[in-house]
Structure 1
Amino acid sequence: MALAQFICSFAGSNMNVMINDISEDLDTTVQGVQVAITIFLLVMAALMIPGGKLTDRYGRKRCLLAGLVVYGVGALLSAVAPGLGVLILGNSILEGVGTALLIPPVYILTTLLFTDTASRARAFGTIMALGGIGAAAGPLIGGLITSALSWRAAFVFQALVIVVIVFLSRRIEDPLPPDPSRPFDTVGTLLSAAGLILVVTGILAADDNLWLMLALLVLGALFLTGFFAWVRARERAGKEALLSTSLFRSRTSNLGLVTQNAQWLLLMGVSFTVASYLQVVRGYDAIQTGVIFTAATLGILVSSLAAERLAKRRAQRTLIITGFVTTIAGIVVLVLVVGGSPSPWAFAPGLLLIGLGLGVMLTPSVNIVQSSFTEDQQGEISGLSRSVSNLGSSLGTAVAGTILVAGLTSHAYAAAMITLAAVGLIGLTAAALLPRHPPQAPAPGLGGV
């Protein structure tokens, strides 16, 4: 399950070091590659909630395997893509759909199979460690593969990892039986997906047309408003909706979701911004860019793998606050040190702090949200949690990319990083508002906290 999270996170960041190679090979632009990266993250965010609901109907392991197969097909299609359109179909659409199917089962099964706080923290720590490493080490691994072989080989690597995961997952047992009679809210799925897609597309349009951006954002907000109205109408009629409004009655969970969104926005935003700056402004190749990111990877690895030990010694709220403070400090150091030095080593201190900060808080944020609900709500909250996180990833790439594409200079780079630091302050505020001792989920059947 940790390996599944690794490859999905890897897919979201490894293309950052292939921007020049892909754009030249497929005769497209930096912005075109940015769009492909963002669509991949957006498809995940838009379909993660429906993906979580499907696990109740068809079973968690079955959805996991189906997602892996779809993802693998998308990776192979991307490897042979003759142009940007096919790359978007394989990488952005099929890999995005596959991820939306396979990731919710990972978090649901982890929550169901590991019942006490310490063991669950250890399990989530391993999963989030590999997820964070996949996102942070994606540039390094992608850079090595691209430099030694080709950017296309990076997609073959993904397909091979998928084969390994399918083989290893044969021993996983689903603790809950599927319920084929469980209804599926198709209208709610379409409304929520359309709303999320329009919002992020609106952000992407900021550098081209401000009026188009405004129109898309307003239209997206209308679709999302319609989605929540539809959900409430179905609940009043006694029908099951795509997303239960009871999920939003937990103040602890709501704040935890805000911190998750901010964390992944920071992770993917920093990754895209720094990778673009290194390649476009400083002219580094893929492998040089990947090596520089090793500092962030090391930071995430060290702090994530210490999740179980930290969970025993410190409150989860304390860990999340510490993570945001460290990450924001890392961004400040990165901007100040890099701006005054031409050396590639100038990136190391800031990236190391960012990696340590993100690794410290990724696990407790997930644990707080998942532990706020009973077993019968794990499908819904897992889908919502992963959707919020992947929406953060999409926004991170979209916001940072929009600022950079508008003017790829050192000033644009600094503006993008300062914007990300401001997002970190929002996450820090949400973390400070978390209760010191979060309540646990009630007995099954009593609803959310």
Structure 2
Amino acid sequence: MPAADPRRWWALGALALAMLTLGFDMTILNVALATISRELDAGTSELQWIVDSYVLVFAALLLPTGLLGDRFGRKRMLLLGLAVFGAASVGGALADTPAGVIAARVAMGLGAAVMLPLSMSILPTIFSSEERTRAIAVWTGSMALGLPLGPLLGGWLLEHFRWGSIFVINVPVVVVAMAAIALLVPESRDPARPALDLPGALLSITGLAALVYGVIEGPVSGWDHPGVLIALAAGAVLLANLVVWESRAPQPMMNLALFRDRRFVWSAAVTAAANLMMAGILFVLPQYLQVVLGNDAFGTGLRLIPMLLGLMVGAVLTDRLAARTGHKPIMVAGMAVLGTGFALGALTGATGGYSYAALWLTVLGAGLGLTMVPAMDLVISLLPGGEVGRDSGLVQTLRQTGSALGIAMLGSLLSQLYRARVETDGLPGEAAGAARDSVAGAAAVAQRLGDDALLASAREAFVFGMNGLLAACAGVTAVMAVPVLAFLPGRRADRDAAASGDGRQSSHAHAAD
């Protein structure tokens, strides 16, 4: 599809629709967990795996699925991923046991692992460097738009239909996205048709699965639990062996040469760190908005919109400024805005209303847009055109592993600070345990016992923990900004990357069937 062809923007809309599906699927399930627990008699462990099985499979398969697009065709594999995701959604809606829902979520994770890197890898094949920043902003914004839509859709669906409707809603979106992609997106692949690196794929899948499992299980069982330690150690050993293998393999699955380019290293590090913090914040915010401020699921989704609007403003500013200033100044400014948003959030009071939260959420969103969009644009500009599917898988693996780490690490920090603060003296043993476990548990105990003091203590303790988490994120943002400012090359290097990237991509972009 040549750069002057107006269909490229319709093709972007088709890709954005697919990403919108992934976006709201990340949050829609959370509002339905209580209903699923009641309807399917699912225990806490089963509910955890309904959520985590998707994340585990998703993160573990991103590396090898990106390579499949380079070999068999990116459009073809993207359509296959959408089909798997849609079929698994139907399976989840029809499941009548927790095991059935978990199986469906595993299959959804497989479909998502194909969709995410391949949708990203198509962008540089249809957009020139002058338009790519805008395209990435739309692509990123479409997934971000899905995040607040999840609770909104989920809350409305659960009010009017059975719990399986949260999966059924994926199906029409997937069907429309598949039709649009089939009609509008050109096929592309690596003309060299790289062979499948089976040893590398096995090492990456098992290594990432072990690592992400350890990260998921750490906050539940404790970071010193033998199973957690074994999983983390096994993941580290397997991934170290993956690097050794990839450095010697004749046709490696990972392009290790990218890590010798400091532009790639620091821009990829920024996207991973931003994903880590965003995932942690999105884990915390619904609890704050629902339990502390007393909103329902639908109201919680509405109150996340300022962050989305801020992100869109940041993305638009990036599109307007990137060609004149280059990526580095925008990223540094974005990290300053992001750190300011986190710092403002860390001053939230336990008895404050939503208006102050709306302020820092807007600043936070603008910082995310100004940080993530230029970082992703720079990363994509550095990927070799023919191998962009493989390398997109690598980039998305770094991002999604960061998300899993963010939920686990920041969730653990929040939990520790909350437990140290909440007052449970005088409560029966089981009630005290539930109150210490989470703010939602404390609210349920307080309602059952009519204990207003416990509810006030739990809300205050949660806000204390949230403020500590936000302060930690502000610190991480400040620390990350230093090497970006010191080591990331400036505008001239951006122009060189754009020129070489367009040259590579023009020679490979349309190697179709």
TM-score, with structure 1 as normaliser:
0.89
Q: Is residue 158 of structure 2 the alignment partner of residue 105 of structure 1?
A: no
Once residues 30 and 275 of structure 1 are traced to their aligned partners in structure 2, the CA distance between those partners, rounded to angstroms, is 19
1:378 corresponds to which residue?
388
Deviation at 1:265, TM superposition (A): 1.5
Q: Contact conserved, 1:12 with 1:37, CA < 8 A, in 2? A: no
1:435 corresponds to which residue?
489
Q: Contact conserved, 2:67 with 2:253, CA < 8 A, in 1? A: yes
Deviation at 1:314, TM superposition (A): 3.2
Distance 1:31 1:358, change over 3 A: farther
Once residues 303 and 158 of structure 1 are traced to their aligned partners in structure 2, the CA distance between those partners, rounded to angstroms, is 28
Q: Contact conserved, 1:303 with 1:356, CA < 8 A, in 2? A: yes
Once residues 347 and 20 of structure 1 are traced to their aligned partners in structure 2, the CA distance between those partners, rounded to angstroms, is 26
Q: Is residue 229 of structure 2 the alignment partner of residue 214 of structure 1?
A: yes
Deviation at 1:296, TM superposition (A): 1.2
Which amino acid in structure 2 is aligned with residue 431 of structure 1? V
User: Where does 1:281-360 land on structure 2 (aligned, <5 Å)?
Assistant: 283-337=294-348, 339-360=349-370
Once residues 356 and 136 of structure 1 are traced to their aligned partners in structure 2, the CA distance between those partners, rounded to angstroms, is 16
| Percentage of identical aligned residues | 28
Once residues 137 and 423 of structure 1 are traced to their aligned partners in structure 2, the CA distance between those partners, rounded to angstroms, is 28
1:121 corresponds to which residue?
133
Where 1:184 maps in the other structure, the secondary structure is: coil
Once residues 274 and 302 of structure 2 are traced to their aligned partners in structure 1, the CA distance between those partners, rounded to angstroms, is 23
The Cα offsets for residues 362-409 of structure 1, whole Å up to 9 and x where unpaired, read as 221111011113312312221111111111222222223444566424
Once residues 176 and 356 of structure 2 are traced to their aligned partners in structure 1, the CA distance between those partners, rounded to angstroms, is 38
User: Where does 1:402-421 land on structure 2 (aligned, <5 Å)?
Assistant: 402-404=412-414, 407-408=437-438, 409-410=461-462, 411-421=464-474
Where 2:225 maps in the other structure, the secondary structure is: helix
For structure 1, the 5+ residue unaligned runs are none
Which amino acid in structure 2 is aligned with residue 162 of structure 1? V
Q: Contact conserved, 1:31 with 1:405, CA < 8 A, in 2? A: no
Once residues 321 and 175 of structure 2 are traced to their aligned partners in structure 1, the CA distance between those partners, rounded to angstroms, is 34
Q: Contact conserved, 2:346 with 2:468, CA < 8 A, in 1? A: no
Deviation at 1:151, TM superposition (A): 4.3
Which amino acid in structure 2 is aligned with residue 154 of structure 1? I
Q: Is residue 204 of structure 2 the alignment partner of residue 192 of structure 1?
A: yes
Distance 1:414 1:24, change over 3 A: farther
Distance 1:436 1:110, change over 3 A: same
Where 1:336 maps in the other structure, the secondary structure is: coil
TM-score, with structure 2 as normaliser:
0.79
Q: Is residue 244 of structure 2 the alignment partner of residue 233 of structure 1?
A: no
Structure 1 consecutive aligned stretches of length 4 or more whose deviation exceeds 6 Å: none
| Number of aligned residue pairs | 438
Deviation at 1:204, TM superposition (A): 2.5
Between the two structures, name the one with larger relative contact order (CA 8 Å, sep ≥ 6). 1
Once residues 137 and 59 of structure 1 are traced to their aligned partners in structure 2, the CA distance between those partners, rounded to angstroms, is 31
The Cα offsets for residues 99-135 of structure 1, whole Å up to 9 and x where unpaired, read as 11122221221101112x2211111111111122223
Larger Rg: 2
For structure 2, the 5+ residue unaligned runs are 1-14, 417-436, 439-460, 506-513
Where 2:254 maps in the other structure, the secondary structure is: coil
Once residues 148 and 276 of structure 2 are traced to their aligned partners in structure 1, the CA distance between those partners, rounded to angstroms, is 13
Q: Is residue 257 of structure 2 the alignment partner of residue 246 of structure 1?
A: yes
Q: Contact conserved, 1:16 with 1:275, CA < 8 A, in 2? A: no
Q: Is residue 17 of structure 2 the alignment partner of residue 3 of structure 1?
A: yes
1:159 corresponds to which residue?
171
2:288 corresponds to which residue?
277
Which amino acid in structure 1 is aligned with residue 303 of structure 2? I
Question: How well do the aligned residues superpose, as a CA RMSD in angstroms?
Answer: 2.5
